Amino acid sequence: MPIAGLNLVPFVSVENMMDLVLETGIDAFLVELAQYIEEDFRRWEHFDKTPRVASHSAEGVIELMPTSDGRLYGFKYVNGHPKNTRSGRQTVTAFGVLADVETGYPLLLSEMTILTALRTAAMSAVAARYLAPKNARTMALIGTGAQSEFQARAFRALLGIESLRLFDVDHGAMARCRGNLADLGLSIALCASPEEAVEGAEIITTATADKQNATILTDNMIGAGVHINAVGGDCPGKTELHRDILLRSSIFVEYPPQTRVEGEIQQLDPDHPVVELWRVICGKEAGRDRADQITLFDSVGFAVEDFSALRYVNEKLKESRHYTALDLLADPDEPRDLYGMLLRRQAWLRQACLA
């Protein structure tokens, strides 16, 4: 039975993605991915945007995150299940699809667990380039779970961070993070408390995973002039910062209709002023304009970032062999004859049995 090319969709497995990232180099991958994200934030107004479509349960959430720039369409499937680690599973797994708007045909199916970790870190670094104090060299990293090393590498590669101050309630996770980041020339301190971790840090990244309102940072821990990169709070009822910090900060967000529901700012009045990050990147609004200003990137992760990541991977595949072809789309010889394809398969199977 002949298989024409139209039925096949390039598929990037987890192993393919690892090999693509390693072949590119982790730092180069983060830097290039950041460029794609920044490019798409510059043309923010071209995107068809909608808050992600979430299905909540007692254990976690499953979300679909679609967007389109009119030429390409992308969506990501992602779950968030904090208890998963108990059964040896990931808290977050993801995959995504990039499609051609003109035909609706998928162009790419890709794992996105690793890709999401990279894009989240690249996004944080893009925001910090506009919001963090100039020449910041020390970052506190609170929560050393699956996202932590990616954050560290992105801030090292894109902002020149030289010193990390880690804290996690799980000391094994802290040690693992330090071990994974050895040989990069980073100075790494393991701290006994969040208070100790933020000492001397110009940038504070929080990336904890509990599905509840937590207070990882309290008001007295936050000195003038720091940049807070709040990565962990990303669904209703899940926050990391004390409300008083928010009231002292200039708050930058990806897409307000989503962040109001999911971000740290769910603790604030619905009309509390926030700045959309794309406006800062486009020069329409100020980012950091005072040395003593506290800036907060209230990151929840938006569909456009996943779109950028899929668009980047799709470009990389043009010069790479790190994918396989998946027989995902029915492609009858005559497009209106879908049923006939079944009949021809039946005839072929019968003949194969006789032969």
Q: Which of residues 1-40 bind a second copy (CB under 8 A)?
A: 1, 3, 6-7, 11, 13-15, 18-19, 21-22, 26
CB half-sphere exposure, 111, CA atoms < 13 A: 19
Planar angle of CA 66, 69, 73, nearest 5 degrees: 45
* Nearest distance in Å: CB 272, a second copy: 28
Separation in Å, CA 47 to CA 204, 242, 312: 30, 33, 17
Residue 213: how many other CB atoms lie within 10 Å: 15
Structure tokens at 98: 């990039």
Residues 53-112 that bind a second copy (CB under 8 A): 53, 55, 57, 59-62, 64, 66, 68, 70, 73, 75, 77, 79-81, 84-85, 87-91, 93, 95, 97, 99, 101-106, 111
* Helix intervals (H) in the chain: 14-24, 26-42, 113-131, 148-159, 171-181, 194-198, 243-248, 256-262, 277-281, 303-317, 338-354
Residue 288: how many other CB atoms lie within 10 Å: 19
234 is a catalytic site residue: yes
* Nearest distance in Å: CB 114, a second copy: 5
* Nearest distance in Å: CB 273, a second copy: 29
Query: Nearer to a second copy by C-beta: 53 or 247?
Result: 53
* Nearest distance in Å: CB 191, a second copy: 18
Point out the catalytic residue in the list 40, 234, 298, 306.
Answer: 234
Structure tokens at 250: 């200039």
Structure tokens at 353: 């049995």
Query: Nearer to a second copy by C-beta: 11 or 278?
Result: 11
| Per rule CB under 8 A, count of chain residues that contact a second copy | 84
Structure tokens at 53: 């479509």
117 binds a second copy, rule: CB under 8 A: yes
Residues 246-305 that bind a second copy (CB under 8 A): none
Residues 144-203 that bind a second copy (CB under 8 A): 144-150, 170, 173, 176, 180
- CA 239, distance to chain mean position in Å, is 17
The catalytic site residues sit at 234
